[in-house]
Structure 1
């Protein structure tokens, strides 16, 4: 096999793992955030959200996260937990929000991981 192909495959794998890596959000922290009124944001597409989402989550598509956060009146210091299908889009949304001055953003990764954190 061509060494360049191997490097591309391995590099792609590591980039994917970096984007969808473990969340640092702990179960106790997630429960506290939700109990204190923190928002859960599903950053998947409206169609994905419609097909099933975490109870109480609002839908703001990841590529519209800044305008959506403003429209939903999410303050820059209020706690927000993000999730998507794989953790990649929520990771991107977290970085975008942080770059815009949001300070209390958490990436749960996937809906399943969020469910586990809150159960």
Structure 2
């Protein structure tokens, strides 16, 4: 199960630190950006299911209902929308926000 530990802490610079996200063995990291954005860089192992094209909505029925999902995008806007769609379908999903926030919270590297 994807677990979020601790509360958001403020760094000395005033920026929020990401909440750590533990990735279980069955966790799936989902990048909901466009294929072009994904190709320019994404979290290692993430699958690309574009929200704006309708690809994510079309794939939701095929997703494992027992799986845990961590979703991210460019800024956190699309990931919030995707999280709502997935939760409405009964999936266990964590909104990791932007790609950098997701990388910081999960420890996954950004790759091309």
- Say whether the fold is shared (TM-score over 0.5): yes
Unaligned regions of 5+ residues in structure 2, if any? 1-15, 108-112
Distance 1:35 1:66 in 2: 24
Structure 1 match to 2:103: 115
Distance 2:103 2:69 in 1: 15
Quick check: which has more Rg, 1 or 2? 1
Structure 2 match to 1:66: 57
Distance 2:27 2:74 in 1: 21
The correspondence of residues 52-91 of structure 1 with structure 2, limited to 5 A, is 52-63=41-52, 64=54, 65-70=56-61, 73-91=62-80
Kindly tell me the number of residue pairs found equivalent between the two proteins. Answer: 89
Q: Does the residue aligned with 1:109 lie in a helix, a strand or coil?
A: strand
Greater helix proportion: 1
User: When the two structures are superposed, what TM-score results if normalisation uses the length of structure 1?
Assistant: 0.67
Runs (4+) of structure 1 exceeding 6 A deviation are none
User: When the two structures are superposed, what TM-score results if normalisation uses the length of structure 2?
Assistant: 0.70
Unaligned regions of 5+ residues in structure 1, if any? 1-21
RMSD: 1.9
Greater strand proportion: 2
